[in-house]
Amino acid sequence: MCGIVGYIGEKDAKNILYNGLTKLEYKGYDSSGIALIDDNKNLIIKKESGKLTQIKKYIEDTNIISNIGIGHTRWATHGKPTQINSHPHTNCRKTIALVHNGIIENYLELKEELIKKDHKIISETDSEIIVHLISEYYTGNLYGAVQKIIQYLKGTFAIAVISESEPDKIIIAKKGTSMLIGIGENENIFGSDIPPILEHTKNIIVMDDYEIGVIEKNKVTITDLEGNILNKVVENIDLTIEMAEKSGFKHFMLKEIHEQPRVVEDVLRGKIENGKIKFDNFNITKEELRKIEQINIIACGTSYHAGLVGKFIIEEILKLPVIVEIASEFRYKTPILSEKNLVIVISQSGETSDTLGALRVAKQSGAKVIGMVNVIGSTIAKEAYGTIYTNAGPEIGVASTKAFLSQLTMMYLFMLYLGDNLNLIDNKYKEYIIKNLEKIPEKISTILNKSDEILNIAKQLKNTKNIMYIARHINYPVALEGSLKLKETSYIHSEAYPAGELRHGPVALIEENVPALAIALKNSKTYDKMLSNIQEIKARDGKIIVLASEDDENIDSIANMSLKIEPIDEIFSPLLTVIPLQILAYYISDEKGLDVDNPRNLSKSVTVE
């Protein structure tokens, strides 16, 4: 949940660390800190609770010169977001500093032993234990101490450690959470994600679990736990800095919403060859695939909603049964899976703890597991049999937008891939689907160009306390997603229901101060039913905002407000209906003056249970 960055080279480390942390704030933002070693070999720590402004001020005011340092932005798990609990943590003598992402499950046990050995543990965190443990085993070789203590840590970690006794190196190690190293010229920079690295280099080493890195100015050495030097591949990452920055938009969320036409193009690019879908890392043979009798999709949050849309697509077109489950529920159930199940775990970050846990449970039960993930080299990508990368690029806004659209688009390709391999789809229909998918980017751009109309609606809704979202069939998951976007960015309570469920209870909530947003597309097979639901809400004085097709001439006489999209075959409609809902949530949040990109209490990736 936290962000880590580290630098060693010839430049001013404090500025590089601060810049890096600004690009990692989405990982956690309740406290932050840096550790530097200055020219006199003194370890200097600056850490504060709250946002990065304190660190910024410190960096502007100080005249410390340092070419080596580590930084951290925290999302509290153990202990409140106070100054003492923030990272970097130090040993008792304050000669070694450590930053940590992850959770040390046996920290209480370790703490007890360390206290017996006279270590003074001052924070409530699990992380501080690690630096005391390193100090306990330190005999003049920082690498050796880290190598020694890893065996005692249960849980997940990405750590970076510096010592004033060895001011020319940073030791890093990881298990179960990501760590990437950027290889530069006379400098090296590492981080828990790509954005802080990108402006320095595109040459990246992805660390694997139980590897230790020694990062020096002109050298990076990666070893296994036994100390054997590993020959790691340096990958050239095809991402631009702009892709990881705001590019002139007020917020990352808005930028990412506007990137969606490009995202759909990127998902489609290179995946369709002679009318067939091609996945590079699927790793499941046609013969194995033919044994599959059921698809299981497992995910959390927005990725779960993408899975629900996927169920509609696969069941409607291929008539293949799909079960979609929430990862945090699935992982503690008795899994009813075998080699006849194909499990797809969907995750933007590829690090979500529950989704990873579900993946492991599914693997143990003999099912083939594919990770549909956005972040390259993430833990889910590594542990799944095969990976489908969704190619959305780095998503910084905590509220997922472009990653969702990339997952949706990929669901159509995945359905086509299954259809091809299992002979469940005819060529003509396949062509029809591909043609329609290729038209989506332009149709999204048309919606984006009408953002001002959505802003007007946002202004009218911003003081609302509760909103009901209703839809049917393939757009019901979109209603769930629209409602989640609103909740997390605007703190407005909202519920999403399949419209047919209204009469079974939720309609009791409707009154003049509880508006309903209905997705009702004219060519949908449940359009008439949606109109009846809308009338029922009106009869109870509820205001109605309808997300309708442009060719619906009557809708404005029924709705209080409307959002319009181009008419589209219902099967593809989620790719468009979600866009106005994302924009609406964004504008309501911005109109309320909220921190759109970093909503309260949330973290970009939930790497704890």
To ligand M6R, the closest distance from the beta carbon of 502 in angstroms equals: 25
CB 89, CB 127: distance < 8 Å: yes
- When binding is defined by CB under 6 A, the residue of 156, 349, 387, 483 that contacts ligand M6R is 349
To ligand M6R, the closest distance from the beta carbon of 330 in angstroms equals: 13
- When binding is defined by CB under 6 A, the residue of 19, 127, 201, 355 that contacts ligand M6R is 355
Q: Using CA atoms, how far apart are residues 471 and 527, in angstroms rounded to an integer?
A: 10
Span from 217-225, 347-355, 410-418, 562-570 in contact with ligand M6R (CB under 6 A): 347-355
Q: DSSP characters for 227-250?
A: -PBP----EE----TGGGS-TT-S
CB 110, CB 150: distance < 8 Å: no
Q: Using CA atoms, how far apart are residues 395 and 350, in angstroms rounded to an integer?
A: 12
Q: Using CA atoms, how far apart are residues 49 and 86, in angstroms rounded to an integer?
A: 7
CB 178, CB 379: distance < 8 Å: yes
Indicate if 2 belongs to the active site. yes
Residue closer to ligand M6R, measured from CB, 34 or 103: 103
To ligand M6R, the closest distance from the beta carbon of 168 in angstroms equals: 36
Decide if residue 328 touches ligand M6R (CB under 6 A): no
Give the residue ranges of DSSP H helices in 365-465: 379-383, 402-421, 427-448, 451-461
Indicate if 51 belongs to the active site. no
Span from 6-14, 46-54, 299-307, 545-553 in contact with ligand M6R (CB under 6 A): 299-307
Span from 28-36, 170-178, 296-304, 415-423 in contact with ligand M6R (CB under 6 A): 296-304
Residue 277 bridge partners (DSSP) = 272
Decide if residue 298 touches ligand M6R (CB under 6 A): no
To ligand M6R, the closest distance from the beta carbon of 13 in angstroms equals: 30
* Beta-sheet strand order (sheet of 3-8): 43-49, 31-38, 66-74, 3-8, 188-191, 180-183, 203-206, 235-236
CB 475, CB 573: distance < 8 Å: yes
By rule CB under 6 A, what string of x and - marks binding of each residue 375-404 to ligand M6R? -----------------------xxx----
- When binding is defined by CB under 6 A, the residue of 163, 352, 475, 589 that contacts ligand M6R is 352
Residue closer to ligand M6R, measured from CB, 300 or 342: 300
- When binding is defined by CB under 6 A, the residue of 24, 110, 114, 300 that contacts ligand M6R is 300
Q: Using CA atoms, how far apart are residues 511 and 456, in angstroms rounded to an integer?
A: 22
- When binding is defined by CB under 6 A, the residue of 347, 390, 483, 490 that contacts ligand M6R is 347
Q: Using CA atoms, how far apart are residues 329 and 292, in angstroms rounded to an integer?
A: 23
- When binding is defined by CB under 6 A, the residue of 178, 303, 387, 475 that contacts ligand M6R is 303
Decide if residue 301 touches ligand M6R (CB under 6 A): yes
Which among 2, 175, 300, 311 is annotated as catalytic? Answer: 2
CB 210, CB 253: distance < 8 Å: no
Map the footprint of ligand M6R across residues 482-541, applying CB under 6 A: 484, 488
Q: Using CA atoms, how far apart are residues 223 and 230, in angstroms rounded to an integer?
A: 5
Q: Which residues bind ligand M6R (CB under 6 A)?
A: 300-303, 347-349, 352, 355, 398-400, 484, 488, 602, 605-606
Q: Which residues are catalytic?
A: 2, 604
